[in-house]
Structure 1
Amino acid sequence: MKALTEQDIRSSFVNCSKGEAKRLPLPRDFEELPWDDLDFLGWRDLSAPGRSYIVTEHEGEPAGISLRFPSQQRGFLHRSMCSLCLTTHPGSGVSLMTARKTGPAGRDGNSVGLYMCTDLACSLYVRGKKKVDSGARFKESLTTEEQIARTVDNLHAFVAKLFS
């Protein structure tokens, strides 16, 4: 992913107001982000439980998305799989993330959702740069590059639903 500035990120949000985008916190480690290893920028809002953000590319431009997810914890024995990167996690490692649609549909309260890694570190899991605590990535016959492409395709399909 191309490195973005704070202004790039704040002006990219498509499903929240400019005021909301101006007030949202950036990732704590913003200055040290491994941009070359990221297919999208994702982070949780530590000041607002159940809120996360993603910035990805849509039609050649950065597109920021405000997400919500339930803050309830699942039991440790429960396992779920991320729909983006196909990593399995125990407990609450995967959450149903919902995003308000853009335009009139979003103003009418319509949203789309997808099960994602709660920490939004899909890019790092696929590359093996982050390991899952008591979880696993399945051994796959796809190369790392093919897995990255699949993750990006899955994310772009989700983002496209926001605009439809």
Structure 2
Amino acid sequence: MRPLTEDQVRAAIRNADADEIAAIGMPHDFILTDWDYLDFLAWRDPDSTRRGVVIVEHEGEPMGIVLRATDPARVRSGMCNICRTLQPGNQVALLTARRGGKKGHRGDSAGTYICADLSCHENVRLAHPLAPNEVRPLGQADMRLDGTRHRMEDFVARVLADD
């Protein structure tokens, strides 16, 4: 992902009004962000426990959405629909976003189950433990990274689509 300033990040958010965008707290370590490492920028707002933000690159331009989190599930385990990692149920939450355009003005939203702390880009990089005689296939990590990035981009595009 190409480096962005705080102003560029805020300008990329497309499903919130100016007051809501101004109220978003940036991550405490934003100035230390390793942009070459990121497939997308995602964080939970340090000023609001239920708000999160995702910024992706779409056709070379940053696009972002504001997410609202529900309480984490009370199930034993859950799967994130973005990074496809199985996690304890309290670490996966339904995050919804107000749709863009006319649908958003009518109150429509879209949602999916995502890692509650929005750490999908880190979780997908963790290697699964291998069985004693198992060999990790070449390219498997790259496929997981690409899939995670594409699923997040598709989710953001679905939220912002004005059908």
Same fold (TM over 0.5): yes
2:65 is the alignment partner of 1:78? no
| Deviation (angstroms), 1:73 | 4.4
Give 3-state SS (helix, strand or coil) of 1:37's partner. coil
2:22 is the alignment partner of 1:22? yes
What residue in structure 2 maps to residue 99 of structure 1?
Answer: 97
Once residues 129 and 54 of structure 2 are traced to their aligned partners in structure 1, the CA distance between those partners, rounded to angstroms, is: 25
What residue in structure 1 maps to residue 68 of structure 2?
Answer: 68
Asked whether the equivalents of residues 69 and 97 of structure 1 are also in contact (C-alpha less than 8 Å), the reply is yes
Q: Deviations over 1:54-77 (max 9, x none)?
A: 11112321111100011x3444x6
| TM superposition score normalised by structure 2 | 0.86
Once residues 73 and 6 of structure 1 are traced to their aligned partners in structure 2, the CA distance between those partners, rounded to angstroms, is: 29
The structure 1 segments of at least 4 consecutive aligned residues displaced by more than 6 Å after TM superposition are none
Aligned length: 155
Assess, with a 3 A threshold, how the Cα gap between structure 1 residues 138 and 11 changes in structure 2: closer, same or farther.
farther
| Deviation (angstroms), 1:38 | 1.1
Backbone CA RMSD of aligned residues: 2.0
What residue in structure 1 maps to residue 7 of structure 2?
Answer: 7
Once residues 31 and 102 of structure 1 are traced to their aligned partners in structure 2, the CA distance between those partners, rounded to angstroms, is: 29
1:137-148 aligned within 5 A: 137=128, 143-148=140-145
Of the two, which has the highest radius of gyration?
Answer: 2
| TM superposition score normalised by structure 1 | 0.86
Asked whether the equivalents of residues 87 and 138 of structure 1 are also in contact (C-alpha less than 8 Å), the reply is no
Amino acid paired to 2:9: I
| Deviation (angstroms), 1:18 | 1.9
| Deviation (angstroms), 1:28 | 0.9
Asked whether the equivalents of residues 15 and 99 of structure 2 are also in contact (C-alpha less than 8 Å), the reply is yes
Instruction: In structure 2, list runs of 5 or more residues that go unmatched.
Output: 131-135
Asked whether the equivalents of residues 58 and 159 of structure 1 are also in contact (C-alpha less than 8 Å), the reply is no
What residue in structure 2 maps to residue 134 of structure 1?
Answer: none
Amino acid paired to 1:68: R
Give the fraction of aligned pairs with identical amino acids, expressed as a percent. 37
2:162 is the alignment partner of 1:160? no
